[in-house]
Each structure stands twice: as C-alpha cells, then as structure tokens.
Amino acid sequence: QVQLGESGGGSVQAGGSLRLSCAVSGDNYKNYCMGWFRQAPGKEREEVATVDSAGRTRYAESAKGRFTISQDNAKSTLYLQIDSLKAEDSGTYYCAASSYPRCPWIGYSLVQNLFGYWGQGTQVTVSS
C-alpha cells in the first residue's frame, strides 16, 4: 500500500508560481512510477508529468516549459513546480503512483488506470 497526500494548492494570479507537494509513504514506493495529473472543472483528468524509479522525467506536451516534477532525495515527497500560471491551469491536481517502475506512457498519453494509488487532490485556482 502507498499513501499519498497533496498540499500547496491555492489561489494565485496569472503569471505567478506555485509548488505543489505530495507526501509519499508506504511499501515499495521508491520503485514506483510517480505522476502528477490534473482535472479542470467539466473536463477529463489529464496527465501532467511523471518521474520513474530511475529518476527519469517526462511531461505531457501541454506541460513542457512551465512545469517541473521533482522528488526529494528520499523520494518521500514529490513536487510539481508550476511557473507562469495561466487561468487554464486551474483545477484539481492529483499525485499518483504506479507499481510499474517505468512510467506507462503510450505515445503521448499515460495509461492512467495503471496508477493504483491516488491522493485526494489539491485545488489550484488561477485568476486572470
């Protein structure tokens, strides 16, 4: 079992920055793929970025350039830095874990149903 808990969301103005955190605990998570996802109101949940067990990162096409995924050395906290925030970045951000050590991307999409562990989400609201 893996437990995930996000924090760091809030209300910010467009152009600002946020760093989201996800506390990770449990069994074997250091060998897991970790990812950030987001869901805007009325839209499907979408992938943002992942980091695999070897530390390799990958970003959704829409996230390249302004989003940075990282972990602390102990892999007990997952981060998502978001810069130059836009109104369309508003939504609920989730961290998730997949027991696959290499993140399950197929083409430009993540296989979300291979992520068996999810946090409760943290809300980001960007005002223009």
Tokens representing 34 are: 């970790």
What pLDDT sits at residue 8? 97
Among the ranges given (26-30, 47-51, 52-56), the one the predictor scored with the smallest mean pLDDT? 26-30
> Tens digits of per-residue pLDDT, 4-43?
999 999 999 999 999 999 999 998 898 999 999 999 999 9
Cα–Cα distance for residue pair 25/76, rounded to 1 Å = 6
Distances (CA, A) of 75 to 29, 52, 83, 87: 8, 11, 22, 30
